[in-house]
Chain A
Amino acid sequence: MTTENPAGDTGIERFEIRVKGHLEPRWAAWFDGLSLSTHDDGTTVIAGPVVDQAALHGLLQKLRDLGIPLVSLTQIPPDTTASQQEN
């Protein structure tokens, strides 16, 4: 966990959730405003700050309820936006 950062969201962790299939950007609101980026391998990465573990589980539950196959879940360092650079 970070000690301090300029954005002021101290303690809030960032996650990347990769799912199978391309999700359109309109799903962003459904996933609490996280960013969605699609990839050539047929996956979508949903990324951004997640308040706490309960919120993270809430997100995973939303994915489960849509029947979207989950590929991976990664915690990412606060200042990188790896997925977007990758694309």
Chain B
Amino acid sequence: MKEKEKLIINRKRLDGRDLYEMRKIEIQINPIKNSMGSAMFKFGKTWAIAATHGPRAAYPKWQQNPEFSILKTRYMMLPFSTWERSKPGISRRSIEISKVVNDALSNVIFLEDYPKTMIDVFIDIIEADASTRCAALNAASIALALAGVPLKDIVSSCSVGKIDGEIVLDIAGFEDNYGEVDCAVAMIPHEEKVLLLQMDGIVTKEEFKKMIMLAKEGCLKVYESQKTAIKQAFTNIIDIE
């Protein structure tokens, strides 16, 4: 029998990263001018783009809530985002991720500030290389902040996992496919509030604790880059002058 190929060699991963190292984060502010706020977020090759519209009047009218605003999130993978063409439109998977992203974001938005309205968040995955829901959440929370939606805090998210028996930060595509555990975590890092936690695979209690601690560090890093990116929207204007 052929021996399983190793994903970690000399404490380095296949793409040359350390175990606790994140892929390069790239953020672009307001790439879509027609929306009220938009953002592009990149984790290495994972590439998400989010745009927000609203708050605007909620239609159909029977959906209006006299006390709260409705948050509608739509996550979608573009047909060319994966190695094999994925069918465009909503699928079972995209409905699930839309829901979990929606639930995570509705915890931080002051929905009671805008009764009878709705806030739309559209997220498209341009290129997928694992942890797309993390990139989607990061992009969406930047877009919401830029659109002037009242937020309790910015949501930061990153993935942790276990490959070759080692706990690692930020799972890339091949590690997701051949690793043991993949776990997406979204939190408000300063308050240590977890907004999203999904995992597949089997870990022990100690390993899980270690994973959460690692995810917190990762989220803090993402949080800092999100904050500097949002502030760029302000300095950009000065540069034009």
Partners in one complex: no
A residues with a Cβ closer than 8 A to B are none
B residues with a Cβ closer than 8 A to A are none
